[in-house]
Structure 1
Amino acid sequence: NTSFADVYENVATNNTGGILVFNMPNLPKPGVATRVFKNEVYANNTANFAPEGGAVAGVPAGSGILINSNDFVEVFDNDIRDNETANVIISSFFATTYTERSAQPDFDPFPETIYIYNNRFSGGGSSPDGLDLQTLKLAQYGLSGSFPDVLWDGIVNEELLVDGSLPADHSICIPDENVIMLNIDMGNDFANVTEDMTAHRCSHDKLAAVVLDIAGAE
């Protein structure tokens, strides 16, 4: 788990998942506050060959940027394209393949305060990995259709809900009008899948840049 990280100027391609921002449940220190920017993330469609039960075994092939169980994540100024499950996936601990692992008392399984803006998206979402997502894509968009650029499992901390919605400071914010997020309502067996962006056309305060103070460095 990593806190206060900048992930930038990388090229991620030909992986199962391009850039993964995870928070593991059984580590003593939780991760928080990651900026992902100025990266090129494309065609990460390699079949997942991780051993069963491993931390990345459940990553769908075709994942561009995958945010799991992490808070205060800012994704901006990236080129993201042709990732065939979705260019960005936001998911909770409950969507992973390691839910049987013990968790630290302060582990937060829900991704919150996510800010995605000013990225360049194209392609992707046309051939998702896994039968559930394939079936959902076919039902929602047809044989030749594609998922939108952002896919969210829709699982939230119900204790935080106010009139059925997360408070603004915990929300996933995507202010760009041309970027759509699909809430797949995974926690309710995909019963209320929606592209409604009303609660997500918002913004968060931007995270500060990471500055390393290294002794002896000029």
Structure 2
Amino acid sequence: MDSFHSSLKPSKFDKIQPSMKYLLIFALALTVACGQKEETPLSWKSIEADLQTWLIQAQDGDTIAIPEGNFMFENPLILDGLSDVIIKGAGMGKTILSFEMQESGAEGIRAANCKNLVFQDFTVQDAAGDNIKITDTNGIRFTNVKSQWTGEPSQENGAYAFYPVLCKNVVVENCIAIGSSDAGIYVGQSDSVIIRNNEVYHNVAGIESENSRWVEIYANNAHHNTGGILIFDLPGLTQSGHTTRVYDNDVISNNHENFAPEGNVVAIVPPGTGIMMMATRNIEVFNNRIHHNRTIGTALISYVLVEIFGAEEGSQLDSANAKVNEEYDPYPNYVYFHDNEFKNKHWFPTFENDFGLLFLRYFTFNLPDFAMDGIWPEDEEFVMCLQNNGEFNFANIDAANDLEGRSTNWRDYDCEYGVIDPIYP
């Protein structure tokens, strides 16, 4: 050891006086400490009384500008019967409206009976129920709005980050939705809808269109949800849905555990679902990148399959089952699925769901990129066209006949033309 040390030449540091060494060490430590960025606690303020007053006193055509800052609310913000009003923050990351301390109401922001509302450039988070709910409104636009539940995804989170229902002329664009226990971006029983250029993650359903008509869902990034994009038609609602186009989306790695409350309809969605279409008609799905969704890339099912699951009395699913009647059509039809790209690096589906266990048993190491339940009405022709989707794994599980006639031959539905439902030109 001594010979080793004696062979080393003294460094410049060794020649410095001991007192100076300590000063240099202290200065170096101080420099490193100052270079480390410490998180500064957010400074929360209250403008609740002022902002609610602005909303109550708002006149048609007003712009309500919310300043930069972090603002805490104990009650929902409510708009009613207004036209051509803009609610505008200073930026998605600059104006933050938090309802973590909410004491009354369910929604963070609620609007009804309005016309041409615009919400833009702010973040809303942690409402007791839905973050933003809009009803009975003609003309609604969300632009550059972040709606989230902070912390870990939980069934205690609100159901919907964005929740326009019974609306017309809806646009959701350049928004972010995180942590919903149902759907991040949801549109229900609405007409003429555009959902574009959004990012949705850590939701049960990233994007969900339910019983809506003339819907365009494109250029979105749906990742790390339980299911990426859902197009559903449920019984007992004010209208049936039809005519939806889903295109140019990235539907990637939607493998999150399903944290929906038991009995909710979306609780049936298997972790690892890219796109799921249920009981919907006249739908075109094309030019999507559907990658690494571990259980199934795309599913096409009837509501009959959902009924088989049953539900606890009083649950959302039990209530939906009770509303099935002769007016409700539980079968999907007129489906044009073309020019999509599939990839899946996973060998095994989820073990947490009956669909996953079924695929594990019958399609081990050959998980379906596109699967259909094979339950169709006897009195109506089923029309589906699969075209230009490259090499992909297909499965018709033939649930109508206890899986006896299951097939992996997608060419039964190969075509060279699109599908047009003559009922909905």
TM normalised by structure 2 equals 0.43
Q: Secondary structure at the match of 2:379?
A: helix
Q: Which of 358, 372, 397 is matched with 1:152 structurally?
A: 372
Q: Which amino acid aligns with 1:173?
A: C
* Alignment pair present for 1:140 and 2:362: yes
Output the CA distance in 2 between the equivalents of 1:206 and 1:192: 28
Q: Which amino acid aligns with 2:373?
A: D
Q: Which of 366, 369, 391 is matched with 1:178 structurally?
A: 391
Q: Which residue of 1 aligns with 2:402?
A: 189
Q: Which amino acid aligns with 2:236?
A: N
Q: Deviations over 1:65-93 (max 9, x none)?
A: 00000011100011111111111011110
Q: Deviations over 1:158-211 (max 9, x none)?
A: 222xxxxxx4xx32211226234200112222222101224300232469xxxx
Name the larger-Rg structure: 2
Q: Which amino acid aligns with 2:296?
A: A
Q: Secondary structure at the match of 1:41?
A: strand
Q: Deviations over 1:4-58 (max 9, x none)?
A: 1100111001111100000111112000010000100011111111112212111
Contact 2:212 2:242 in 1 (8 A): yes
Output the CA distance in 2 between the equivalents of 1:184 and 1:124: 22
Name stretches of at least 5 consecutive residues in structure 2 with no aligned partner: 1-210, 310-316
Q: Which residue of 2 aligns with 1:215?
A: none
TM superposition shift of 1:131: 5.8
TM superposition shift of 1:134: 4.3
Q: Tell me: CA distance 1:126–1:73, structure 2 relative to 1, closer, same or farther (3 Å).
A: farther
Output the CA distance in 2 between the equivalents of 1:132 and 1:174: 26
* Alignment pair present for 1:82 and 2:303: no
Q: Secondary structure at the match of 1:199?
A: helix
Q: Which residue of 2 aligns with 1:127?
A: 348
Q: Which of 57, 61, 66 is matched with 2:271 structurally?
A: 61
Give the aligned CA root-mean-square deviation in angstroms. 2.1
Output the CA distance in 1 between the equivalents of 2:357 and 2:226: 20
Output the CA distance in 1 between the equivalents of 2:266 and 2:358: 22
TM superposition shift of 1:124: 5.8
TM superposition shift of 1:132: 4.3
Q: Which residue of 2 aligns with 1:204?
A: 418
Q: Secondary structure at the match of 1:159?
A: coil
Identical-pair percentage = 33
Name stretches of at least 5 consecutive residues in structure 1 with no aligned partner: 161-166, 208-218
Q: Which residue of 2 aligns with 1:33?
A: 243
Contact 1:27 1:104 in 2 (8 A): no
Question: More strand per residue: 1 or 2?
Answer: 2
Moved over 6 A (4+): none
Bigger Cα displacement from structure 2, 78-87 vs 50-59: 50-59
Q: Tell me: CA distance 1:153–1:30, structure 2 relative to 1, closer, same or farther (3 Å).
A: same
Q: Which has the higher contact order (CA 8 A, sep 6+)?
A: 1
* Alignment pair present for 1:108 and 2:329: yes
Q: Which amino acid aligns with 1:199?
A: D
